[in-house]
Amino acid sequence: MLSLTFILFSLTAHAVTPDKVSIAVLHIEDVLEAKRDDLPYVNILRILDQRIPIQFEYQFVHALRVKETFDPKNNMACLFPNSILAKDFGRPLIESSPILIAKAYFIAKHPLTSEAIVNPDHPPLQLGYRYGNTFGGKIRLLSHHKLIPLNSGADIRNLIERDRIDAFLGYLPDSFAIINKLPDKPLVYTEASLFHSQRDSFLCQDTPDNQILMTLINNEIQKMIDSGELARILAPLKKTIPGQS
């Protein structure tokens, strides 16, 4: 079981440089949680841990603390899942092959379209989103609306239930936990409400050791793709994304 604090996974395989790596892991409800071994991204971390001859330390972090935690001063080598295009950390970084392409949608009680919402003439909306998300910098396109940064899925659910926001902008699969826990208030998202796409990858400090690590991770990801293993692991997430079976 993965722990909320650092966990050291000892491998008996022959070690290579680097021999130990610390990875900051984002908590994503129903996708990647410290105490749930059944979740897809947890399974991916477990497989990589078993197959790569390196000792991994995982630290689960809240999105609010990502920039502070994923800092070379903390000897934090990598962040998962994330992407170079998601946030400007102000230093050279390298990125693995993607595990999944996460998509951000406008999600509401009635259908919305991104084309209409980004139009400056659109009537102002109250739009919730998770604090720290910039959607590749595209959030600036929504400055004519009232943007409400929220700390958690529970905060978003609370405002939706109280009709305090018109919609929220969230990534899938991250936001399935919000959608699935509001059965009495069905929420809608379509391909027309797609706002931004982002690679869910390992994002690492650009160092010689991490370049070796990136090669090892990419090799294992490709093996999982070729064997169909990755598709099977991700099936519970993809089956509910519009346009995917």
CATH of the domain at 151: 3.40.190.10
- Taking the C-alpha atoms of residue 88 and residue 120, their distance in angstroms, rounded to an integer, is 26
Q: Is the pLDDT of residue 15 over 70?
A: no
**Same domain, yes or no: 143 and 184:** yes
How far is C-alpha 63 from the chain's CA centre?
A: 10
On whether both 112 and 87 belong to a single domain, the answer is: no
Task: State the pLDDT at residue 12.
Answer: 30
In a domain, 72, yes or no: yes
Residues 108 and 139 in one domain: yes
Q: Kindly state whether residues 58 and 76 are assigned to the same domain.
A: yes
Residue 245 lies in a domain: no
pLDDT digits (tens, 9 = 90+) for 140-162: 999 999 999 988 888 988 898 88
Domain membership of residue 2 (yes or no) is no
Which residues is 32 bridged to in the sheet?
A: 28
Span 69-91, pLDDT tens digits: 898 888 899 999 999 887 778 89
* Region of residue 218 (phi > 0: left; psi between -120 and 50: alpha; otherwise: beta): alpha
176: CB partners within 8 A, 6+ apart: 30, 31, 237, 240
Percentage of the chain modeled with pLDDT above 90 = 56
Residue 228 maps to a domain: yes
Shared domain for 141 and 166, answered yes or no, is yes
Could you tell me if residue 1 is inside a domain?
Answer: no
Q: What is the DSSP letter of 14?
A: P
Q: Residues 193-204, buried b or exposed e (16+ Cβ, 10 A)?
A: bbbbebbbbbbb
φ/ψ region of 59 (left if φ > 0, alpha if ψ in -120 to 50, else beta) reads beta
33 shares its domain with 51: yes
The total domain count for the chain is 2
Would you state the pLDDT for residue 183? 63
Q: Which of 174, 152, 159 lies closest to 64 in space, CA to CA?
A: 152
Q: Do residues 139 and 165 share a domain?
A: yes
Residue 3 lies in a domain: no
One domain, residues 161 and 177: yes
Going by C-alpha positions, the residue among 74, 72, 101, 71 that lies closest to residue 86 is 101
Domain boundary among 178, 196, 214: 196
Residue with tokens 């999944």, as numbered in its chain? 100
Assess whether 24 and 73 both reside in one domain.
yes
Domain range enclosing 154 = 102-196
Same domain, 167 and 218: no
Average pLDDT score, the chain: 86
pLDDT tens, 22-78? Answer: 999 998 888 899 989 899 999 999 999 999 999 899 999 887 788 888 988 888 999
User: 152: Cβ–Cβ under 8 A, 6 or more apart, which residues?
Assistant: 130
- Model pTM? 0.82
Residue 103 has pLDDT above 80, yes or no: yes
Residues 171 and 224 in one domain: no
17 lies in the same domain as 93: yes
**Total residues found in the chain within this entry:** 245
Give domain status of residue 243, yes or no: no
53 found inside a domain = yes
